Amino acid sequence: MHNVWLVIEREYVERIRSKSFLILTLLMPALMAGLILIPGKLAQMKSGGMRHIVIVANNPEIAAAVQQELTRPTRKAQTGALPTAPEAEITYEVEVNLVPTDKLRELLRQQVSKGAIDGFLWLSDGALAKHEVTFSAKDVTDLDENIVLRNAVRTGVITQQLSAKGMSREEVGTLLRPVALDVVHIEKGEEGASSTSVFVTAYVMVVLLYTVVMVYGISVMRSIIEEKGSRILEVLLSSMTAKELLAGKILGVGAVGLTQILIWAVFGAIFSLPGLARTPSLTSHVHIPLTGVVFFGVFFLLGYFLYSTMYAAIGAIVNTDQEAQQMQWPAILPILLAFVLMAPVLQHPNAPFAFWLSMFPFFAPILMLVRVLVEQPPAWQLALCLALMLVTIYGVLSLSSRIYRVGILMYGKRPTLPELRRWLKYAG
């Protein structure tokens, strides 16, 4: 055990002091903060000037209703997306033309091309009868503006039609006022977090788990490849067994991963303090229950041990990084599939397919964590999942340790499948 602690200390201290650890530890919070804050800043900076458009319609009441919607001072784009910044005000200068002809359309197209106007809405009786209203402009990629125009046309047309049936504008405005729907999860008879909060929390925690497990699993593999190339392993094996060396490497690198997660958690807590995030952001939607924190740690450790032992075996088999890239697919494929399958499990966490997928040990670190965050499964399912993972880890560790015991002293060409079988038989 003393030798294992020596390897753990060596791996931990070397990696903590490395520049790559410092860069990645600081870069990840900076990247997450940028993803949250930069879109908001860009939204505040984007095209705040006046839009000059022309409304062309046969019906003057419809044209006036749409014009009123577009020029309302309190109107903003409502995208329905997660809020990342105060919504940008879109201001319009609107002209109305009540003679829609082909000649007028061609003239307006030329004015758009020359920059005399920004665009025109074609609301002729024929277009309205077909429900095919057209907005022509140079810049049609602004999603906020497209939503504003669509809402203005829909509200203006409905307002005019209801007014024609005898309703006052105040009654129409009350009738068309949108109703906010907040989907709230109920667990154990109490209201929990909203659906948006659950989704964002699950996504953030799964991405963090996926990233750390992959990064440090690959780190174990590269460490073995480097030591094979420098023949340091031959010196180390003179004073300890291959199993002690493997255990020390996995535990030491895993401790580095836990340290990095704790640092990121501190950054996240500081960043989410009131006053630091001055605009509504993704942090306002993150709600991490205590059980989620506990199981995140559990599945990080189990997932890390499972995949790092696989990466250790790969590192023992190959001699260069190029060979390692070709041999990584057995370790990468399961965790990528689990990441892809996260969406259906997130939507239906108690469905039979979600149950069976989350029980598969190579998918469990991600998919069972998603189920815990969305709606905690019964205790027996969690117990069964953890038991299956522990058994699988033991089996993979036994298999990998046999390959590792022989492979770390093998140099030259990459072994074939029959040669690997002989390694396993020899090491057994």
- Lookup: tokens for 119: 């665009």
Q: How confident is the model at residue 86 (pLDDT cuts 50, 70, 90)?
A: very low
Q: Are residues 322 and 420 in the same domain?
A: yes
In a domain, 11, yes or no: no
Q: How confident is the model at residue 84 (pLDDT cuts 50, 70, 90)?
A: very low
DSSP code, position 285: G
Q: How far is CA 336 from CA 188, 204, 206, 211, 213, in A?
A: 33, 16, 12, 11, 12
Beta-carbon-side half-sphere exposure of residue 419 (alpha carbons within 13 Å): 9
Q: Which residue is associated with the tokens 């599945």?
A: 299
Domain stops at, among 176, 205, 224: 176
**Most confident listed range (6-10, 29-33, 131-135, 321-325):** 131-135
DSSP one-letter string for 128-162: HHHT--EEEES----HHHHHHHHHHHHHHHHHHHH
Q: Which residue is associated with the tokens 């940028």?
A: 34
Provide the number of structural domains found in the chain. Answer: 2
In a domain, 63, yes or no: yes
Burial 124-148 (b: 16+ CB within 10 A, else e): beebbeeeebebbbeeeebebbebb
Domain stops at, among 144, 176, 208: 176
Q: Which residue is associated with the tokens 């907005």?
A: 135
pLDDT, tens digit, for every residue of 309-334? 888 888 878 777 777 777 888 888 88
Q: Which residue is associated with the tokens 């925690």?
A: 205
Q: Are residues 108 and 205 in the same domain?
A: no
Alpha helix segments (H runs only) across 341-378: 342-347, 352-359, 364-374
Q: Are residues 232 and 89 in the same domain?
A: no
- Lookup: tokens for 69: 């919607």
Q: Are residues 172 and 257 in the same domain?
A: no
- Residue 355 has what pLDDT? 92
In a domain, 9, yes or no: no
Taking a C-beta distance cutoff of 8 angstroms, is the pair 300, 261 a contact? yes
pLDDT, tens digit, for every residue of 215-272? 888 888 887 777 776 767 667 777 777 777 878 888 888 888 888 878 877 776 676 6
In a domain, 20, yes or no: no
In a domain, 213, yes or no: yes
Distance, in Å, from the CA atom of 419 to the CA atom of 413, rounded to the nearest integer, reads: 11
Q: Are residues 225 and 374 in the same domain?
A: yes
Domain stops at, among 149, 176, 203: 176
pLDDT, tens digit, for every residue of 374-421? 878 889 999 999 999 999 988 888 888 777 777 776 766 666 777 777
- pLDDT at 79 > cutoff 50: no
- Residue 271 has what pLDDT? 63
Domain housing 60: 51-176
Distance, in Å, from the CA atom of 48 to the CA atom of 125, rounded to the nearest integer, reads: 32
Q: Are residues 239 and 141 in the same domain?
A: no
In a domain, 385, yes or no: yes
Distance, in Å, from the CA atom of 87 to the CA atom of 5, rounded to the nearest integer, reads: 55
